[in-house]
Amino acid sequence: MNVLASLFRFELNYQVRQPAFFVTTLLLLGASFFATASADLQRARGITTTVNGPYAVVMTHLVLSIIAMFLVGHFVGRAATRDRTHDMDGLVLTTPVPTQTRLLGQLLGAGAVCLLAFVAVSIGGAAGAFWPDIAAEQRGPFRLAPYLWVYLVIVLPNLFFCAVMLYSLARVVRSMMGMYLGLVAFFVFYEVGTELLNNPGLRSLAALLDPFGFSAFIDATGYWTAEEKNQLLAPVTGPLLLNRVLWLCVAASTLSLLLRFHDERRERASGKRASRSDDAKAPALVLPQRRARPSVRGASGVRQFMARTRLETTQLIGSPAFLILSLLTSFLLIAGLLAGDGFYGTRSWPLTRMLSESIQGALSLLILIVLSYYAAESVWRERQVGVSSLIDATPVHNAVLYLSKLIALWAVIIGLCVVGVGIAVIYQTASGYTDYEWSVYAQTLSLQYLLPAMFIAVLSMLIQIVSPNKYVGMLVFAGYVVTSLVLPQLGLEHHLWRYSEGPEAIYSDMNGLDHFLAPLLAYHLYWGVFAAALVVVGYGLWPRGTGIGLLARAYATRVTVGRSGALVLALCLAAFAATGGYIHHNTNVLNDYRSADATLDWRAEYERELKAFQSAPLPKIRAVSAEVAIYPESRRVTVAGQYRLRNETAAPIGEFLLSWDTNNEVTFALENGRAARRFEALSAVLVTLDEPLLPSAERMLEFTVDRRNEGFREREVDNRVVANGTFINNQELLLRIGYDADQELQDARDRARRGLDDWAGLADLDDETQYGRTYLGADVHEVDLDVTVSTHVDQTAIAPGRLLREWVDGERRFFHYRTDRPILNFFTVLSGDYAVETVVHNDVEIAVYHHPEHDMNVARMIEATRDSLDYFGAEFGPYQYQHVRIVEFPRYESFAQSFANTIPYSEDIGFVADLRDADTIDYVYSVTAHELAHQWWGHQIAPANVQGGTVLSESLAQYSAYMLIQHRYGPAYLRRFLKWELDRYLRGRSNETDEEQVLMRTENKSYIHYQKGGLVLYALQDVMGADRLHAALRDLLDSYRDDLQVFPTTRDLLARLRAEADPASAAFIEDGFERIMIYDFSVQSAVGRARPSGGYQIEVTVNAGRADATAGGRGTPVEMDEQIDVGLLRAHPDAPMTAEDVIDVTVSRLTDGTQSLTLYSDVQPEFVSVDPFLKRIDRDADDNTMAVSWSD
């Protein structure tokens, strides 16, 4: 035991003195500090997870304990292989200490080092909570319990597991490199496994199999609300306990196997090759008469450069580390590709632009590690191996030594990129997609990834050149990376200040890089010449010889840089200045540059100056006519338009506010009207009518708009008007009347910093003053529209209404549209080079305008449209227009949006979904149906501007889509959607930063109005019957469809629902809309047996209950007595199941508590499931299903 203790102490003492200990401790400290200090950046206001509450503490430790496996690998690997690498084993193995003791001592010592380093996480996290930027309400009191919990349950087991496994591995493979390879393989396997199991149905399996307990912890706390996260520690029971015990056992048995069977002495057998005897017959030492002499310099420089570059490149690319990095890249990429992102887990076709982004994603963090590690290796290699005195004394120019290393480093970056492209192409081929688009790979990867990485490589090398040793260099580089992340917060937001960076650029299939290309090239040139200057500085300061300090080297630059170098440097700096000037001219002179803060300031200013006009009576726009000219090639739009204004109030109107988008230049003329006050900076004027507009009187407002794009912008890029795929709505293009409440800042801290009180939120549900306005804006109500859009002759322009005429005049193509019936004053104009697919269905023309190459799902969209028109028409009343136009637009936004008879649909969704696998969720159908349903919910009735408004648009549209899917494909198929919807709702409320509102009063929370709203209405049609629910909805439509003065609220919806409801349904309506009711069903047991008379009988024990969480937290249990489905199934509902898998569904009365049911079936069922179609919001739907066990 004494020996063990001293071995332990030796290991500990030895390792904590190594620079690696210092560096890793610092990294962990920094990581947890910044994770905590920056945790509040994403937060809004109100109740939220505190930065140092139990949940936050556990998460920081948990995540870092996984990442820490790399440091554990380093320390235990070093312990396991050190004696061999330092050729100490001859001394060590001859000592009389038993192997077991030696191994255990080393392992425990190294493990203790890891733990010691890991304590930095706690210190960093605890300190990070005091970052002054963190709002007081996000900082809880310091509590010791979470730390104890996390060390006992997470940190110690994880470190022990890692240490044992990696130490054993290093012992068995006997090399650091081998151990690292295994570690990386494990890490990748872990990542891929986590992704593959990240599916609602597989979570309990994942919870068990995750050796770090991450999945188990998430499983235990996934649906916790913020309040719970701030107070509770996860109970160590169930999957979490099982997981911890399982993996501790795995580690313990591995350790005992190692101690029992490992024989160190056998390792020697295959030790290093003994060097051959080198004495041989000695030839005469006579040199040839004609000796080769060094040639003159010019010619040899190129040869030297080639030779150095070849050597450097083989040194880097040929090293095992590169192999590991390539594997890591490949696996990170593959893991990302297999993860199945996109809506509802449905994958997209593997388009080249997406794979290019995946490659960039896989490399984004890795490349910083590569650049930091390889720059250090490369700059210090000669000095480290000791060959520098040979190399440095040769007549090689510094530039040759430096540039060859730089190029080798670049080769590594490019090499990893090529590996990525290789994997991507294999993936594309395997997915049956062979349109590889090499030019897209080349363009996007070189411009968005390679060039910036190459510039950073130059900097990383320079840092190593001036640094006294490589660890300091790596730390300085890490400092640079962190600094570059926080520069915007320090006020240096403009990319002119941010080395190697440039504004965001988005590649779109429709529009290529288009308007992003010019700034991209300009910034690359700007940073490129700067990097070139750094190159000259780098080789000037190149560390040549020994003991030559930085100052001496700086002094020597007049020799090492020389005249030509100085000239290059001067030219680079001149070009840097010139490009900088050019960029500044574009971003700050031709365009207004506003920092992110300045934009917020602007919005605060807007509110301060104009809020007073919010409730002023306004004239209504009754008709819009406009000539819109779109110039895609110069990204310009001009408008000459008219509004017919009418006073529909009871009093004369003497003044009103007129405003427009800051990108637009506007003139206007109004009879008897003048601009009494101009708010230049706010793009608004107060118009005073010298002769007030009397009630019911009308007046014409004439205006012109010029929206130009000159040069390029730094931020707030105009992605609306582009070369191909212009998509702009009237609020962005035309004049607006009245105050725009959407400009108001909502974040409490943003407001406080600008001296504004907390945001008031939406108007209260009962604020009747807002019933006369829609939620889309003060000037959004029904208008007649007559618009002529012209565009380039190669493009098609689309606006709402009937196309009256289309003609060509020179290079311009004109389209004249007019609406047959009023539409909401919220419409779009689009222009692009589309392929069009048109069908006529019951007098409605359905047209899909799409990018010619995105034709995969067009037929499916048309089918969904046809089904929607039929089903919604039958259930809710007729479709109001003669057209449905679905129009693809570039991926600058990723939504589909419903305007009157026009549905702009992003190229990022729907068009490129890969629906070949029948088991995928066909969201193309559901999204199309949802948008079509908005033609009723949103365009036949528009919600009033109060709380709950989005229920009348989004919830009803989502519900309608569900019903169409159920109508067409049955409830078993619909369940696939509902499972995702339920999960999203529960996660949404878990991440809620405010108090969760009840459905009736929701304020634009998507998880409430889409997911909860859809689920509640779907359950309601089951409770009260779809017929009666739809009768209520028809009544709502009939009451408001033609009314222009008053808009409906959720109260109007509920009144009609209640009118149709029986008492049980009325109670359910109240629970669904006015409370937050969370159910929890579970099957406790399911035992079946064959009946003698034939058929089967299954005894089921069910637990049921529900809680009212309206007041927050887990809620209070409330009595339950409801009719709930209990299904007998052939397949698990998450399988996913099909209609054939459903044997029988019995409606059973369930009350709270445990109850027994007896079910009968002619067919032998595999599973019993309570609420198999997810008609209730269940806290944990995974335990609703159980496999039937058979007696006898």
Contact yes or no for 733/705 (Cβ under 8 A) = yes
Helix (H/G/I), strand (E/B), else coil: 685? strand
- Using the rule CB under 8 A, is 300 a contact of another protein? yes
What track of x and - describes contact with another protein for positions 553 through 592 (by CB under 8 A)? ---x--x---------------------------------
Q: Which CB contacts under 8 angstroms, 24+ apart, belong to 364-370?
A: 366/325, 366/328, 366/329, 366/332, 366/416, 367/413, 367/416, 367/449, 367/453, 367/456, 368/456, 368/481, 370/325, 370/412, 370/413, 370/416
What track of x and - describes contact with another protein for positions 839 through 878 (by CB under 8 A)? ----------------------------------------
Angle between helices 320-338 and 176-196 in degrees, nearest 10: 10
- Other CB atoms within a 10 A radius of the CB of residue 893 amount to 16
Nearest to 1175 by CA among 1143, 1145, 1137: 1145
Residue closer to another protein by CB (options 278, 809) is 278
Give least dist CB 395 to another protein, A.
4
d(CA 606, CA 951): 29
- Using the rule CB under 8 A, is 273 a contact of another protein? yes
Give least dist CB 295 to another protein, A.
5
Helix (H/G/I), strand (E/B), else coil: 689? strand
Helix (H/G/I), strand (E/B), else coil: 449? helix
Give least dist CB 461 to another protein, A.
19
Residue closer to another protein by CB (options 99, 319) is 319
Residue closer to another protein by CB (options 90, 549) is 549
Beta bridge partners of 356: none
User: Could you tell me which stretch among 280-288, 468-476, 485-493, 745-753 binds another protein (CB under 8 A)?
Assistant: 280-288
- Using the rule CB under 8 A, is 1094 a contact of another protein? no
- Using the rule CB under 8 A, is 544 a contact of another protein? yes
d(CA 979, CA 1136): 10
User: Could you tell me which stretch among 105-113, 383-391, 413-421, 866-874 binds another protein (CB under 8 A)?
Assistant: 383-391
Q: Pick from 293, 434, 468, 1093 the residue near another protein by CB under 8 A.
A: 293
Residue closer to another protein by CB (options 302, 1090) is 302
Angle between helices 54-67 and 214-221 in degrees, nearest 10: 160
Q: Pick from 41, 287, 490, 650 the residue near another protein by CB under 8 A.
A: 287
Give least dist CB 182 to another protein, A.
22
Give least dist CB 374 to another protein, A.
16
Give least dist CB 407 to another protein, A.
16
Q: Pick from 307, 414, 566, 1044 the residue near another protein by CB under 8 A.
A: 307
Residue closer to another protein by CB (options 318, 479) is 318
Give least dist CB 538 to another protein, A.
18
User: Could you tell me which stretch among 285-293, 662-670, 769-777, 942-950 binds another protein (CB under 8 A)?
Assistant: 285-293
User: Could you tell me which stretch among 145-153, 273-281, 1042-1050, 1090-1098 binds another protein (CB under 8 A)?
Assistant: 273-281
- Using the rule CB under 8 A, is 304 a contact of another protein? yes
Q: List all residues 6 or more positions away from 131 whose beta carbon is below 8 Å from its beta carbon.
A: 36, 37
Contact yes or no for 935/885 (Cβ under 8 A) = no
Residue closer to another protein by CB (options 136, 282) is 282
Q: Alpha-carbon torsion 596, 597, 602, 604, what sign?
A: positive
Residue closer to another protein by CB (options 295, 1158) is 295
Q: Can you give 639-670 as a three-state secondary structure string?
A: EEEEEEEECCCCCCEEEEEEECCCCEEEEEEE
- Other CB atoms within a 10 A radius of the CB of residue 264 amount to 16
Helix (H/G/I), strand (E/B), else coil: 428? helix
Residue closer to another protein by CB (options 411, 745) is 411
Tokens of 46: 């109100």
Residue closer to another protein by CB (options 359, 400) is 400
Give least dist CB 477 to another protein, A.
24
CA distance readout (Å), 68 to 16, 25, 115, 291, 537: 16, 10, 10, 58, 37
Residue closer to another protein by CB (options 385, 918) is 385
Give least dist CB 895 to another protein, A.
55
- Using the rule CB under 8 A, is 551 a contact of another protein? no
Sheet harboring 1189-1190: ordered strands across? 1153-1161, 1096-1104, 1082-1090, 1189-1190
Pairing verdict, β 1082-1090 and 1096-1104: antiparallel
- Using the rule CB under 8 A, is 136 a contact of another protein? no
- Using the rule CB under 8 A, is 677 a contact of another protein? no
Contact yes or no for 373/231 (Cβ under 8 A) = no
- Using the rule CB under 8 A, is 385 a contact of another protein? yes
Q: Pick from 545, 581, 852, 1095 the residue near another protein by CB under 8 A.
A: 545
Contact yes or no for 592/636 (Cβ under 8 A) = no
- Using the rule CB under 8 A, is 468 a contact of another protein? no
Pairing verdict, β 1189-1190 and 1082-1090: parallel
Nearest to 150 by CA among 230, 217, 242, 57: 57
Binding residues with another protein: total (CB under 8 A):
49
**Residue 131: burial class (beta carbons within 10 Å; 0-12, 13-18, 19+):** middle
Query: From its phi and psi, is residue 135 left (phi > 0), alpha (psi between -120 and 50) or beta?
Result: beta
User: Could you tell me which stretch among 2-10, 270-278, 872-880, 1182-1190 binds another protein (CB under 8 A)?
Assistant: 270-278
CA distance readout (Å), 249 to 205, 207, 255: 18, 16, 10
Give least dist CB 181 to another protein, A.
18
User: Could you tell me which stretch among 276-284, 924-932, 1045-1053, 1163-1171 binds another protein (CB under 8 A)?
Assistant: 276-284
> DSSP class of residue 348?
B
Residue closer to another protein by CB (options 163, 396) is 396
Residue closer to another protein by CB (options 266, 293) is 293
Nearest to 1088 by CA among 1148, 1182, 1160: 1160
Tokens of 95: 């000592």
- Using the rule CB under 8 A, is 254 a contact of another protein? no
Give least dist CB 301 to another protein, A.
9
Give least dist CB 378 to another protein, A.
12
Q: Alpha-carbon torsion 562, 565, 571, 577, what sign?
A: negative
As a whole number of Å, the end-to-end CA separation of the chain is: 57
Give least dist CB 288 to another protein, A.
5
- Using the rule CB under 8 A, is 311 a contact of another protein? yes
Q: Which CB contacts under 8 angstroms, 24+ apart, belong to 671-679?
A: 671/699, 671/700, 672/699, 673/699, 673/701, 679/609, 679/610
Which residues, numbered 392-421, are part of the site for another protein (CB under 8 A)?
Answer: 392-397
Give least dist CB 532 to another protein, A.
23
Q: Pick from 18, 254, 315, 704 the residue near another protein by CB under 8 A.
A: 315
Q: Pick from 9, 265, 268, 303 the residue near another protein by CB under 8 A.
A: 303
User: Could you tell me which stretch among 326-334, 379-387, 426-434, 876-884 binds another protein (CB under 8 A)?
Assistant: 379-387
Helix (H/G/I), strand (E/B), else coil: 48? coil
Residue closer to another protein by CB (options 491, 545) is 545
Q: Pick from 278, 843, 917, 919 the residue near another protein by CB under 8 A.
A: 278
Contact yes or no for 1000/955 (Cβ under 8 A) = no
Rounded (10°) CA dihedral 659, 661, 662, 665: -80
Q: Pick from 1, 41, 144, 292 the residue near another protein by CB under 8 A.
A: 292
- Report the interface residues with another protein, using CB under 8 A: 273, 275-276, 278-280, 282-283, 285-288, 291-295, 297, 299-300, 303-304, 307-308, 311, 315, 318, 381, 385-387, 389-397, 544-549, 552, 556, 559
